[in-house]
């Protein structure tokens, strides 16, 4: 009767083949994961902008979407321009452009810690649905989301904001490219 099982040579060949397959698959997987993180952050921001605009028109009131450094703080959160970890959407009842006690929080979302946010950090929508900056001037600018990684090759998303309240997402052709 013959013994069943694998020989040492068969086991080593199998492990070598698995190592080669994993070496080829891991960089591609990293690119997919990072690309999805960047896309999710972009989609969350655009959804927040759309909600702010719709609520401003529906309520006939000023609604603000702003970057925050403490997205998980709930009613204790505030707008920020650095160390961004998410977005707030709120009814700006006191019309000061910042989230405070008198304001109503509509949405709070977080951004993955690996995504850096720069550019326009506050968008204010009035009852007419038009986008304005913190001072109330017509808004035209970009929000730039970048993941600090070499994979995917195109690791930046640009969200172009227009006065009409539209948000157009683009991906620069160059790695770590600038927003147009």
What was the pLDDT predicted at 5?
80
- CA dist 180 and 163 (Å) reads 16
What is the CATH classification number for the domain harbouring 23? 3.55.40
| Residue 151 covered by a domain | no
Instruction: Report the pLDDT value the prediction gives residue 175, as an integer from 0 to 100.
Output: 66
pLDDT for residue 82: 87
Q: What local confidence, expressed as pLDDT, does residue 1 receive?
A: 60
Domain-embedded: residue 54: yes
- The answer to the question of residue 26 being in a domain is yes
- What pLDDT, on the 0 to 100 scale, is given for residue 158? 92
| Burial (0-12, 13-18, 19+ Cβ within 10 Å), 10 | exposed
Q: Report the alpha-carbon distance of residue 105 to residue 87 in Å, rounded.
A: 11
Domain containing 100 equals 8-113+120-137
Name the domain count of the chain. 1
What pLDDT, on the 0 to 100 scale, is given for residue 77?
87
The low-confidence residues of the chain, meaning pLDDT below 50, are none
* Residues 94-142: tens digit of each pLDDT: 888 889 888 999 999 998 888 889 999 999 999 999 999 888 899 989 9
Q: How far is it between the farthest Cα atoms of the chain?
A: 88
**126 in any annotated domain:** yes
Threshold 0.85, pTM exceeds: no
pLDDT value of position 24: 81
- Rounded CA-CA distance 109/44 in Å is 7
pLDDT of residue 90: 95
For residue 165, tell me if it sits in a domain.
no
């Amino acid at each position: 009767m013959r013994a069943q099982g694998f020989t040492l040579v068969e086991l080593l060949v199998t492990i070598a083949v698995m190592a080669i397959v994993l070496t080829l698959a891991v960089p591609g997987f990293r690119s997919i994961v990072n690309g999805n993180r960047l896309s999710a952050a972009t989609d969350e921001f655009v959804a927040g902008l759309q909600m702010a605009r719709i609520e401003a028109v529906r309520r006939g009131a000023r609604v603000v979407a702003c970057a925050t450094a403490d997205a998980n703080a709930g009613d204790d959160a505030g707008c920020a321009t650095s160390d961004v970890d998410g977005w707030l959407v709120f009814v700006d009842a006191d019309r000061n452009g910042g989230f405070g006690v008198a304001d109503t929080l509509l949405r709070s979302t977080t951004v993955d810690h690996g995504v850096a946010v720069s550019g326009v950090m506050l968008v204010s929508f009035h009852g007419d649905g038009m986008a304005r900056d913190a001072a109330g001037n017509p808004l035209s600018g970009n929000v730039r989301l970048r993941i600090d990684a070499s994979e995917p090759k195109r690791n930046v998303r640009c969200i172009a904001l227009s006065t009409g309240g539209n948000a157009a997402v683009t991906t620069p052709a160059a790695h770590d490219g600038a927003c147009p």
